[in-house]
């Protein structure tokens, strides 16, 4: 029997492969129900519907998060997919009963950090970008394993000649041990297969990316090719999820962490604030590292270019700024410009740049 409730109820799910542990909490705070259900659409949708249309649901980001998000969103008043890192860092003990209890209480208090889930139009591109990225990583690992075989025997492997099929017999002959030579042959065969799959994944990814009008718009920015554009589209999804550039910088791992303590002193009987600046502690770590890699790669390419952005980088270095800080400033500038281009739907115009050293 469906339970109709006027006041909101807070349902937290601790999701596992086979089962989900849940806690339902009242708006005043008391726990109304705890239990375990099977991780399947029928039981999870039934659980949400049983608590009426005014139920708020929360679960952690994970492998099944997108499936749960799309399935449960039409059946609840509010759905939050939260960042598990913000929860686990504050928990001393952990269990299938503690986790949903904590989640439901923090949902009731509104102290959870939601995780953005891609709009449906970008869902296919996101899958293909993940496939391409995984194949690139796998191919890189195999290439490193191949060079390690030669390096462990004091054989130099400068360049990419060791991977070329035309030179393969010559390189394999340099390995004296038959077993090690066979090991290198197997890795080279694996590399050939991965290279073929990577080309197919790249073609599929770019074909999907070209369906979006902003694909060609972002490529008007210097040093942004089709692959980087596809990655930006898949990761960001929608530019309107970031109100300003200052919300994009932390997501991309480009926000500077500052810390201070003892900020006030007593002078002549009056409390005054210290004039010393807060100490910097590097960049924020709770970031999307794939997006950070894209922005950093664009900044490195621009730093060697003759574009206005490249000239601004060299001007900062000439004024005494450290090269790594100048590259960080350039990466932040790139992120800000791309966000503005995407939101306004206008191509890159170098004459409209307002470059600063901050």
pLDDT digits (tens, 9 = 90+) for 299-341: 999 999 999 999 999 999 999 999 999 999 999 999 999 999 9
In a domain, residue 264? The reply is: no
| Contact (CB, 8 A) for 29 and 76 | no
Structure tokens belonging to residue 41: 């659409």
What is the average per-residue pLDDT within 166-183? 94
104 lies in the same domain as 14: yes
**Over 60: is that where the pLDDT of 89 sits?**
no
Burial class (CB in 10 A: 0-12, 13-18, 19+), 137: exposed
Neighbours of 239 (CB within 10 A): 17
Report d(CA 222, CA 207) in Å as an integer: 21
Structure tokens belonging to residue 210: 């070209």
Longest Cα–Cα distance of the chain, Å, equals 84
What is the average per-residue pLDDT within 206-213? 95
**Over 80: is that where the pLDDT of 354 sits?**
no
146 lies in the same domain as 39: no
Query: What mean pLDDT, rounded, does the chain reach?
Result: 90
Q: Which of 190, 73, 63 minimizes the C-alpha distance to 120?
A: 73
**Can you give the residue range of the structural domain that contains 51?**
9-109
Report d(CA 155, CA 152) in Å as an integer: 8
Report d(CA 115, CA 158) in Å as an integer: 43
In a domain, residue 279? The reply is: no
Which stretches of the chain are DSSP H helices? 41-50, 65-72, 84-88, 98-109, 123-151, 168-172, 178-209, 214-218, 226-236, 245-251, 289-303, 308-318, 323-344
294 lies in the same domain as 323: yes
230 lies in the same domain as 336: yes
In a domain, residue 267? The reply is: no
What is the average per-residue pLDDT within 10-17? 94
Least confident range of 47-51, 202-206, 261-265: 261-265
| Contact (CB, 8 A) for 257 and 283 | yes
Higher-confidence residue: 142 or 354?
A: 142
What is the average per-residue pLDDT within 14-35? 94
Least confident range of 109-113, 137-141, 205-209: 109-113
* Domain end marker among 83, 109, 135: 109
In a domain, residue 358? The reply is: no
């Amino acid at each position: 029997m469906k339970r109709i409730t006027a006041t909101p109820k807070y349902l937290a799910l601790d999701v596992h492969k086979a089962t989900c542990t849940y806690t339902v909490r009242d708006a005043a705070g008391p726990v109304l129900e705890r239990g375990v259900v099977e991780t399947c659409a029928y039981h999870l949708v039934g659980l949400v519907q049983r608590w009426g249309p005014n139920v708020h649901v929360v679960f952690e980001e994970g492998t099944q998060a997108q499936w749960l998000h799309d399935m449960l969103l039409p059946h609840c008043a509010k759905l939050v997919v939260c960042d598990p890192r913000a929860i686990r860092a504050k928990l001393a003990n952990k269990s299938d009963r503690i986790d949903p209890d904590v989640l439901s209480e923090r949902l009731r208090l509104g102290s959870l950090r939601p995780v953005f889930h891609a709009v449906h139009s970008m869902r296919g591109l996101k899958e293909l970008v993940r496939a391409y990225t995984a194949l690139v990583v796998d191919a890189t690992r195999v290439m490193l394993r191949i060079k390690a075989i030669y390096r462990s025997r004091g054989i130099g492997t400068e360049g990419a000649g060791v991977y070329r099929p035309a030179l393969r017999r010559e390189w394999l002959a340099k390995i004296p041990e038959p077993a090690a030579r066979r090991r290198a042959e197997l890795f080279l065969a694996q590399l050939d297969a991965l290279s073929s799959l990577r080309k197919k994944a790249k073609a599929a990814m770019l074909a999907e990316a070209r369906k979006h009008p902003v694909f060609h718009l972002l490529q008007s920015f210097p040093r942004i090719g089709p692959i980087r554009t596809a990655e930006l589209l898949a990761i960001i999804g929608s530019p309107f999820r970031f109100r300003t550039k200052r919300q994009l910088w932390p997501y991309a791992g480009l926000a500077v962490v500052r810390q201070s303590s003892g900020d006030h002193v007593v002078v002549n009987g009056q409390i005054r604030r210290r004039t010393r600046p807060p100490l910097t502690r590097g960049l924020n770590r709770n970031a999307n590292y794939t997006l950070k890699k894209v922005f950093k790669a664009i900044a490195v390419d621009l730093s060697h270019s003759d574009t206005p952005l490249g000239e601004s980088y060299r001007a900062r270095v000439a004024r005494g700024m450290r090269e790594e800080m100048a590259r960080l400033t350039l990466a932040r500038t790139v992120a800000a410009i791309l966000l503005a281009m995407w939101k306004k739907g206008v191509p890159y115009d170098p004459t409209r740049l307002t470059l600063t050293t901050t």
